[in-house]
Amino acid sequence: MKGYGMIAVDQPGWIEKEKPVAGPLDAIVRPIAVAPCSSDTHALHGGIGERTNLILGHEAVGEIVEVGELVTRFKAGDKVVVACTTPDWLQPAVQGKYNAHDNGAMQSFKFLGSKDGVMAEYFHVNQADANLVLLPEGMKPEAALMTVDMMSTGFHATELAEVEYGDSVVVIGIGPVGLMAVAGAQLKGAGRIMVVGTRPNCVKIAKEYGATDVISYKDGDIVGQVMTLVPGGVDKVIIAGGNQETFAQAVSMAKAGGVIANVNFFDPTDVLTMPAYLWGLGMANKDIRGGFCPGGALRIEKLLNIVKYGRVDTTKLITHTFHGFESMEEAFKLMDEKPSDLIKPVVLID
């Protein structure tokens, strides 16, 4: 079969592979909608180390073509939403608070992490019963597709930050992940939601999702800008973009007792430093957290409910739609080039 990915670091292209085989608990799925992600392009450029002949992509809605003999909830022909994080649910580590680390940090992220991704004619899903959800009747595949990573990750940022009624929240970065964090913070009842970003369509959608104030990192120090709006600092800071400098800025703009929640993918070479006084000399109860997109059928089912009942319109994230399997190449290249009007590209395959 054919798939699109990285032949080597900085070398994207089509790759020929054997069609994957389902183990007893697994499923083989044919994609009907996929979306490249900034994490795929990050991987292409060496963000997950030296990798060769790796099919990329981890956001998919598809049709099951084969299930293992122990799969009970699904059968060939079912249309399914595929969580991008697919833990091995037999590992005790997933029984704790976070399921993204079944065999060590981020090891539940199998696509890209330990096997080929979804931008292929067929892809493998481990433990199908626990990692797949039926596409809700009447829901557009692309609307469901935005839940598997963008919404799950953006909402996870608001879970890590423990956003509560009336909180003042800063969301640094309003790409698709940050935008979903804005929508999640709004649903959780935040009071003031300040966002950091500049691209006009992202700013527009951030406001539609609930942002009350917009700050540009191009207009100088973002900490000063936040402190002018909320003297003393804010309750919660979410990092969904930026660079290694962003970390100290986020800690600085949180008030004593506040929470800093990171879902940004820092570079392996980044060094995160912070003068101790920004962290209240270690005594200001500023909690610093960072997490990875959780998986699980139950979680995706709940996120799909939010979409189904009109609480969040995830299709606002989709700025570019491609048709046909072959157009994965063009969609991926667009994600890599990141023109300023791009939020999420989607490929629909009949």
Binding site for ligand NDP (CB under 6 A): 37-39, 42, 149, 153, 172-178, 196-199, 202, 217, 240-243, 246, 263-265, 292-293
3-state secondary structure 310-331: CCCCHHHHEEEEEECHHHHHHH
Nearest residue (CB) to ligand NDP, 134 versus 274 = 274
Nearest residue (CB) to ligand NDP, 71 versus 262 = 262
- Cα torsion 19, 24, 25, 27: sign: positive
For residue 326 the two structure tokens come to 């072959």
DSSP summary character for residue 30 = E
Min separation Cβ 59 and Zn ion, Å: 6
Span 130-149, contacts to Zn ion by CB under 5 A: 149
Of the candidates 37, 112, 163, 261, which one interacts with Zn ion according to CB under 5 A?
A: 37
DSSP summary character for residue 216 = -
Of the candidates 15, 25, 36, 39, which one interacts with Zn ion according to CB under 5 A?
A: 39
| Sequence-distant (≥ 6) Cβ neighbours of residue 258 within 8 angstroms | 233, 234, 235, 236, 237, 286, 287
The piece of 29-37, 233-241, 249-257, 325-333 that touches Zn ion (CB under 5 A) is 29-37
Nearest residue (CB) to ligand NDP, 35 versus 135 = 35
Closest CA to 110 of 45, 1, 20, 240: 20
HSE-up of residue 210 (Cα within 13 Å, Cβ side) = 24
CA 134-310-142 angle, 5° bins: 50
| Among ligand NDP, Zn ion, none, residue 17 binds (CB under 5-8 Å by kind) | none
Min separation Cβ 308 and ligand NDP, Å: 23
Nearest residue (CB) to ligand NDP, 7 versus 203 = 203
Nearest residue (CB) to Zn ion, 37 versus 71 = 37
Nearest residue (CB) to ligand NDP, 24 versus 339 = 339
| Among Zn ion, ligand NDP, none, residue 197 binds (CB under 5-8 Å by kind) | ligand NDP
3-state SS, residue 231: coil
Where does this chain bind Zn ion (CB under 5 A)? 37, 39, 149
